Amino acid sequence: MKRILIPIVLVLILIAFWGYKKTNSQTTPPTVIEKTALPVGTQTIAESSTLKKTLLFPGTVMGKDEAKITAKSGGTITRVNFDLGKNVAQGQALAKIDDTGNNSDAGKNNFQSSQIQELEQSVRIAKESLVLAESDYKKIDSFANRSARDIAKRQYENAQIALSGALDSHLITAPISGTVISKNISLGDSVSVGQQIATISKTAQLKVQFFVDQEQFSHFSLGLAVNLIDNNGETSLAKITNISPQADAATKKFLIEAQPSEKNKLLSGTIINVTFDITEFPQKNDAILLPLSSITVGQNESYLFIVENGKAKKINVVIDNISGEIAEVKLELPKETQVIVSGNKSLKDSDVVEVKK
């Protein structure tokens, strides 16, 4: 019995081993990994023949006629007769500056200033001298008395002029009628000569001032239309009315003024955006304009990528000119060729790409 079982068991073991080997000998087909398409942005050769872009500048809204008032003398603000946003009339008294000295009492013109009180005293003495000289001349009409009278009269007039000038420098008046758009003093403040006191603007007519550099300067001319975008995103038109022929010595930029073409809600003193659309052309007729970022510049070569059959294709180029962030190159390719201008930094030749708008 055992002799019969042993061969049977061996046969079963061989069958099982053969089946196991056959099963494992069947090779599993390799897994195919599909490459993910990389998103890129493109523009055609035809689209690259010109470059359209929008220039943007910060601009300041102000009245067409404005007056900045500064202190003509130093001292303490002892009276303020105006408020921010209020209208004032030309010649209206706005503030009083009194450089108080050792005198505790006010003089004839209600100033404690020792300087003004000294000038008041000079006027008083000159007037007394004139009265005396006129009295002597009336008594005796002589050449000496007439000369003394004339001299006293001139001295009195000069003393009045000196006092009037001192009073004018201590009394701040409005040079024009308009709205107070800035107020830089308060009662009791100490001010120095040249310090700004206030700004008065004729806000019925507004203008916008902005600065451009030398490269952008050539795009502007008198009467040119520009867009004004306020803080609420609303757009209005304006025309260039003034272009400075000389650049600012510090900033090297040119001042340009524009006047709104229509009534709007712009407020004097606010900052807005001034925009202007321009079209640039390559210097060479057969060249195109591309973002400098679309070109990889190396020591031995400069190259970019185009789209060909859904894949990125590396193309060597020579840069003819660079202006800001724009490069001028020559590509002898069909006008419909798509040049990759974004998403190119991680690209390799033959990478699968997907054009995104």
pLDDT tens by residue, the chain, 357 residues: 555 556 665 666 666 666 666 665 555 555 555 568 899 999 999 989 888 888 899 999 887 777 888 988 888 888 888 888 888 888 888 988 887 655 566 667 667 676 777 777 888 888 888 888 888 888 888 888 888 888 888 988 888 888 777 777 778 888 888 888 888 888 888 888 889 989 888 766 788 999 999 888 988 999 999 999 988 888 889 999 999 999 988 889 999 999 988 776 787 778 999 999 988 888 888 899 999 999 998 888 899 999 999 999 999 999 988 887 889 998 889 999 999 999 998 899 999 999 987
What CATH fold (topology level) applies to the domain 39-50+283-355? 2.40.420
Distance separating alpha carbons of residues 152 and 149, to the nearest angstrom = 5
Q: Which residues of 320-341 are buried (b: 16+ CB within 10 A; e: fewer)?
A: eeeeeeebbbebeeeeebbbbb
pTM: 0.52
User: How would DSSP label each residue in 300-349?
Assistant: S-EEEEEEETTEEEEEE--EEEEETTEEEE---S-TTPEEEEES-TT--T
Whether the CB-CB separation of 139 and 164 falls below 8 Å is answered with no
SS3 127: helix
Reduced 3-state DSSP string for the chain: CHHHHHHHHHHHHHHHHHHHHHHHHCCCCCCCCCCCCEEEEEEECCHHHCEEEEEEEEEEEEECCEEEEECCCCEEEEEECCCCCCEECCCCEEEEEECECCCCCCCCCCCCEHHHHHHHHHHHHHHHHHHHHHHHHHHCCCHHHHHHHHHHHHHHHHHHHHHHHHHHHHEEECCCCEEEEEECCCCCCEECCCCEEEEEECCCCEEEEEEECHHHHCCCCCCCEEEEECCCCCEEEEEEEEECCCCCCCCCCEEEEEEECCCCCCCCCCEEEEEEEEEECCCCCCCEEEEHHHCEECCCCEEEEEEECCEEEEEECCEEEEECCEEEECCCCCCCCEEEEECCCCCCCCCEEEECC
Neighbouring residues of 334: CB distance < 8 A, sequence distance ≥ 6: 45
SS3 238: strand
Enter the tokens of residue 68.
């900045």
Domain-wise residue ranges, the chain = 39-50+283-355, 101-171
Residue 311: predicted pLDDT: 93
Residue 40: predicted pLDDT: 93
Residue 150: predicted pLDDT: 87
Residue 324: predicted pLDDT: 79
Residue 112: predicted pLDDT: 65
Residue 28: predicted pLDDT: 52
Q: Which residue is it, tokens 């603007």?
A: 201
Residue 77: predicted pLDDT: 86
Whether the CB-CB separation of 189 and 183 falls below 8 Å is answered with no
Type of residue found at 106: A
Whether the CB-CB separation of 287 and 328 falls below 8 Å is answered with yes
Distance separating alpha carbons of residues 77 and 187, to the nearest angstrom = 5
C-alpha torsion sign, points 179, 182, 188, 194: negative
Query: Which residues on neighbouring strands pair with residue 173, listed in sequence order?
Result: 93
